[in-house]
């Protein structure tokens, strides 16, 4: 009888934990977990970047990043972007203001990064912007962007 009660208690605890895993309360605020991509934040209750920005779109947007003429072939890929973005999704990157606002934020970020890392030129196949993510470092850095004293956004 004690063994059966312990098993029932264990079963109830496991099902309660499974139900709480998806949504939790944190200081009166709802927080959600969506696995490895976004967890422990109210922003994770919204759609995550991989819900609306897919690998084929990344490939189309940065079609020439792995060409032999690119200066960092093989460096940039969709999964690396999603993995890096996952660090900031719980803080609201691409997960606030609804799907359309998230899409705009990610598009603005990728547009900026693509323009700053482009090795395209006006007559390049596909145009200048098709050659985004060509470099993996700044060519002429004029300043240091890192703040060693800031642990939240280093």
CATH number of the domain residue 82 falls in: 1.10.530.10
Number of separate helices (H) and strands (E) present in the chain:
5, 3
Radius of gyration of the chain (CA): 21
Q: Is residue 142 part of a domain?
A: no
Give me 117's structure tokens: 């890392």
Residue 127 CA to residue 122 CA, distance in Å, equals 6
Residue 42 CA to residue 61 CA, distance in Å, equals 30
Domain that holds residue 86: 47-131
Q: Is residue 119 part of a domain?
A: yes
Q: Is residue 104 part of a domain?
A: yes
Q: Is residue 39 part of a domain?
A: no
Task: Note the pLDDT tens digit of each residue in 66-122.
Answer: 988 888 888 899 999 999 999 999 999 999 888 999 999 999 999 999 888 888 877
110 by DSSP, 3-state: which?
Answer: helix
Task: Note the pLDDT tens digit of each residue in 119-133.
Answer: 887 778 887 777 889
Residue 22's pLDDT band, with cuts at 50, 70 and 90, is very low
Which residue is listed with tokens 């200081």?
Answer: 27
Query: Total domain count for the chain?
Result: 1
Measured at the CA of 103, the angle between CA 22 and CA 57, to 5 degrees, comes to: 100
Q: Is residue 122 part of a domain?
A: yes
**To the nearest whole number, what is the mean pLDDT of the chain?**
77
Q: Is residue 92 part of a domain?
A: yes
Residue 7 CA to residue 1 CA, distance in Å, equals 10
């Amino acid at each position: 009888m004690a063994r059966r009660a312990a098993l029932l208690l264990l079963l109830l605890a496991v099902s309660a934990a499974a139900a709480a895993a998806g949504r939790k309360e944190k200081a009166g605020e709802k927080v959600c977990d969506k696995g490895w991509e976004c967890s422990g934040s109210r922003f994770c209750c919204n759609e995550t970047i991989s819900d609306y920005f897919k690998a084929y779109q990344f490939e189309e947007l940065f079609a020439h990043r792995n060409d032999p003429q690119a200066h960092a072939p093989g460096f940039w890929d969709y999964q690396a972007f999603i993995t890096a973005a996952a660090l900031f999704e719980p803080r609201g990157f691409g997960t606030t203001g609804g799907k359309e606002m998230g899409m705009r934020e990610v598009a603005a970020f990728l547009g900026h990064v693509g323009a700053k890392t482009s090795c395209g030129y006006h007559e390049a196949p596909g145009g200048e912007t098709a050659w985004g993510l060509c470099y993996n470092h700044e060519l002429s850095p004029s300043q240091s962007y890192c703040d060693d004293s800031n642990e939240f956004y280093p």
